[in-house]
Amino acid sequence: MRSLNRSQQGFSLVEIIISLALGLLISGAIIQVLVSNSLTERLNRSIASTQESGRFIITRLRNELIMAGRYDILSPELNRDVDVTLENAYVLNHPVILPGEFAAFTDVGSVQGVAGANDKVAVALQGEADCRGYKLGYNDDEEFFIVNEYFVDGRLLKCRGFDGRVLRGQKVAVGHNSHAAVTLLDEVESFQVLYGYTDNIVTGDNSARPVGYVTADQLPPILANNGQVVAIRLAVLVKGDADVSIDNTPRFKLLNEAPVNPSERRLYKQFETTITLRNVKNFMRSRKV
Tell me the mean pLDDT in the region 194-201. Answer: 87
Give a yes or no: residue 37 inside a domain.
Answer: no
Q: Specify the range with the lowest mean pLDDT, choosing from 18-32, 70-84, 205-219, 256-270.
A: 18-32
Residue 280 has a pLDDT of 92
Label residue 289 by pLDDT band (50, 70, 90). very low
- pLDDT tens for 65-110 read 999 999 999 999 999 999 999 999 999 999 999 999 998 899 999 9
User: What is the pTM assigned to this prediction?
Assistant: 0.84
Residue 49 has a pLDDT of 77
CA triple 110-123-147, angle to 5 deg: 110
Residue 202 has a pLDDT of 65
The dihedral over CA atoms of 271, 124, 208, 89, expressed in degrees to the nearest 10, equals 180
Give a yes or no: residue 4 inside a domain.
Answer: no
| Beta carbons within 8 Å of 120's beta carbon, 6+ residues apart | 109, 110, 111, 113, 149, 150, 151, 152, 193, 216
Indicate the length of the chain as a whole number.
289
SS3 (DSSP) at 66: coil
- State the chain's mean pLDDT as an integer: 86
pLDDT above 80: residue 21: no
pLDDT above 60: residue 249: yes
Q: How far apart are CA 217 and CA 207, in angstroms?
A: 25
Tell me the mean pLDDT in the region 25-54. Answer: 69
Q: Specify the range with the lowest mean pLDDT, choosing from 5-14, 159-168, 175-184.
A: 5-14
- pLDDT tens for 178-195 read 788 999 999 999 999 999
Residue 273 has a pLDDT of 96
Give a yes or no: residue 142 inside a domain.
Answer: yes
Give a yes or no: residue 124 inside a domain.
Answer: yes
Tell me the mean pLDDT in the region 225-247. Answer: 84
Give a yes or no: residue 198 inside a domain.
Answer: yes
pLDDT above 70: residue 9: no
SS3 (DSSP) at 148: strand
Give a yes or no: residue 127 inside a domain.
Answer: yes
Give a yes or no: residue 108 inside a domain.
Answer: yes
Does residue 254 contact residue 214 with C-beta atoms inside 8 Å?
no
Domain of residue 107: give its range.
Answer: 45-285
The phi and psi torsions of 105 (rounded to 5 degrees) equal -135, 65
* Adjacent-strand bridge partners of 161: 148
Does residue 101 contact residue 206 with C-beta atoms inside 8 Å?
no
Give a yes or no: residue 26 inside a domain.
Answer: no
Please give the tally of structural domains in the chain: 1
pLDDT above 60: residue 288: no
Edge-to-edge strands of the sheet including 121-127? Answer: 121-127, 144-153, 156-163, 182-185
Does residue 210 contact residue 231 with C-beta atoms inside 8 Å?
yes
pLDDT above 90: residue 31: no
Q: Specify the range with the lowest mean pLDDT, choosing from 28-32, 191-195, 238-242.
A: 28-32
Residue 35 has a pLDDT of 57
Q: Pairing relation of β-strands 121-127 and 188-198?
A: unpaired
Nearest C-alpha neighbor of 192 from the set 228, 220, 216 = 216
Q: Which spans in the chain are helix H?
A: 2-7, 13-65, 84-93, 164-167, 200-203, 219-224, 278-285
Residue 222 has a pLDDT of 93
